Amino acid sequence: MVAEQRPRWALIAFTVYFVITLSKKFWLPLLDGVNFWMADAACFVLLPALLVAVFRLPLVPAFRIGERSNARLDTGLLVYLTLLNVLGLFLLSQIGWGIGAKLVRHFPEALPRVIDYYGHAPKAGICFVLAIAYFAVTAGVVEEYVFRGLLSTVCGHYFPRSVSVFVIVSTLSFAWIHWGGGLANVVLAGLTGVLLALIHVRTGDLRLPMLAHTLIGLRWLF
């Protein structure tokens, strides 16, 4: 694939993933047990892998927005910034959940929760650990690849100097795909999505939001 075609294919791949992920609200709650997790893995693992293969997308999407290009942080700085951003994500998630919970109390029918990953996970033991690890890793890697990596490629091509367009589109689309989790989850995803987008803008290194997103997802183990 020539470089000029990559933003177009990235946009198509993003759109396919976005639409199918949105549709999970309607059919994933109908499944239970092993079928629930297999269907989710098909969307979270097989679909992204298929899109990468079909459209020959780079595993590390190029970041070209404004004057910043892909950066490569050294290991020490990467660990330090990851831990710092995990703390930021944790605080924002607590704030977002609190705001969302208040909105749910005032508008209980606005966006009811229909998908509950934690509720479908085994209650204890190694199966519980594996379920949470699966959810944290796939969300951290796949969602960051799609909503930060692919979108930065698309926005860098069509809006090469507009950081704000990337942050807004990334945040809104990331929040929207969480609508199956209810209103509180959408608010939480929106607030944390702003920070994740800004992390990528500031560093140009996709590993940082991936690691921070994965680690904050692992908090459900404790």
- Half-sphere exposure of residue 178: CA atoms within 13 angstroms, side-chain side: 24
Contact 217, 140 (CB under 8 A): yes
Residue 72 token pair: 């490569």
Q: Is 57 left (phi over 0), alpha (psi -120 to 50) or beta?
A: beta
Task: Give the model's pLDDT for residue 69.
Answer: 64
Task: Report CA-CA distances (Å) from 63 to 39, 187, 194, 208, 216.
Answer: 31, 27, 17, 13, 24
Report the distance separating Cα 216 and Cα 71, nearest Å: 23
Task: Give the model's pLDDT for residue 4.
Answer: 55
Task: Give the model's pLDDT for residue 64.
Answer: 78
Amino acid present at 65: I
Report the distance separating Cα 27 and Cα 6, nearest Å: 32
For the chain, the domain total comes to: 1
Task: Give the model's pLDDT for residue 219.
Answer: 86
For every residue of 31-51, DSSP letters joined together read --HHHHHHHHHIIIIIHHHHH
- Provide φ and ψ at 104, rounded to 5°: -65, -40
Could you tell me the pTM of the whole model?
0.92
Q: Give the range of the structural domain holding residue 138, as residue numbers without chain letter.
A: 3-221
Task: Give the model's pLDDT for residue 203.
Answer: 86
- Contacts of residue 86, defined as CB under 8 A and 6 or more positions apart, other chains included, come to 212, 215, 216
pLDDT along the chain (222 residues), means of 10: 72 96 95 92 94 93 74 81 92 93 92 90 88 92 96 90 92 96 95 94 90 92 76
